[in-house]
Amino acid sequence: MPKPRDAAYRKRLSAIRQAVLDRLATQYRDVNAEDIEASFASFVARSAPVIRSGQRSAQFLAAAFLRSAVRAETRRPFETVRSPVVPGQTQYGEALEDGMAAIPSMVLGAIGKGKAADDALEYGSYLVGRFADSEVTATADAEVVQQAKAARIIGWNGIVSGTACPNCQSRNTGFHDWETPIYRHGACTCSMELVFG
């Protein structure tokens, strides 16, 4: 059974993710079918700082979670190490703006294939939300891994829901060392439970 602090961490991380998605949904209303490329460029300029802020919040939360977990389990203090995780970049090291660069083309491509403009814009909103959620979650995951390795925590148990997709069930269930990253998809709710030696 997951520890209460793990559940509290997941709840707080979920709140950060949702706050980012809510803000982006509001900003995305300015993207319009009359000039998708220009309105999307304006949206990206305003949305990248929102995602970066969510990444930073997720990073601080993950580091605090690790400090608390180590103290509770080992009765010794743990000072987090400097992390290579950089808010404002994707998990692949490119700028957030560059990570969203293909979305307008995908929206225009959907329109070109006969999709109604409103439906294509809704598809773009979905892609933006999936991208943002993935990057905020990836930042938290990377910070957990970085700090857990420094604290010499031996690995993680995957916590998956009973309704998780087959990939999550097969790839995240059970014990993993830190060389095995958690499998993620859009809106993934799997989590890593720390395993102390």
pLDDT digits over 76-92, tens only? 888 888 888 899 999 99
Q: How far apart are CA 106 and CA 99, in angstroms?
A: 13
**Which secondary-structure segment (H or E) carries 177?**
none
- Of the candidates 19, 20, 58, 24, which has an alpha carbon nearest to the alpha carbon of residue 44? 24
Phi-psi group of 5: left, alpha or beta (phi > 0 → left; psi -120 to 50 → alpha; rest → beta): alpha
- 80 belongs to a structural domain: yes
- Of the candidates 187, 143, 182, which has an alpha carbon nearest to the alpha carbon of residue 159? 182
- 194 belongs to a structural domain: no
The per-residue pLDDT of the chain, averaged, comes to 94
- 165 belongs to a structural domain: no
Over 60: is that where the pLDDT of 1 sits? Answer: no
- 180 belongs to a structural domain: no
What's residue 2's pLDDT?
Answer: 60
What's residue 85's pLDDT?
Answer: 85
Q: How far apart are CA 56 and CA 43, in angstroms?
A: 20
- pLDDT bin (cut points 50, 70, 90) of residue 14 is very high
- 185 belongs to a structural domain: no
- Of the two residues 77 and 158, the one the predictor is more confident about is 158
- 189 belongs to a structural domain: no
Q: How far apart are CA 143 and CA 137, in angstroms?
A: 10
List the structure tokens of 86: 């950089």
Q: How far apart are CA 116 and CA 123, in angstroms?
A: 11
Over 70: is that where the pLDDT of 123 sits? Answer: yes
Q: Kindly state the percentage of the chain with pLDDT values over 70.
A: 99
Distant-in-sequence, close-in-space partners of 98: CB < 8 Å, separation ≥ 6: 90
Structurally, the chain folds into a number of domains equal to 1
Cβ count within 10 A of residue 69: 23
Which residue's structure tokens are 């793990």? 6
- 197 belongs to a structural domain: no
What's residue 63's pLDDT?
Answer: 94
Domain range enclosing 40: 4-151
**Coil, strand or helix: which one is 159?**
strand
Count CA atoms closer than 13 A to 27's CA, side-chain side.
Answer: 21
Q: How far apart are CA 172 and CA 184, in angstroms?
A: 9
- Residue type for 192, please? M
Q: How far is CA 175 from CA 13, 14, 154, 161, in A?
A: 22, 23, 10, 16
The pLDDT tens digits of the residues spanning 43-65 come to 999 999 999 999 999 999 999 99
- 192 belongs to a structural domain: no
What's residue 138's pLDDT?
Answer: 95
- pLDDT bin (cut points 50, 70, 90) of residue 141 is very high
The pLDDT tens digits of the residues spanning 19-33 come to 999 999 999 999 999
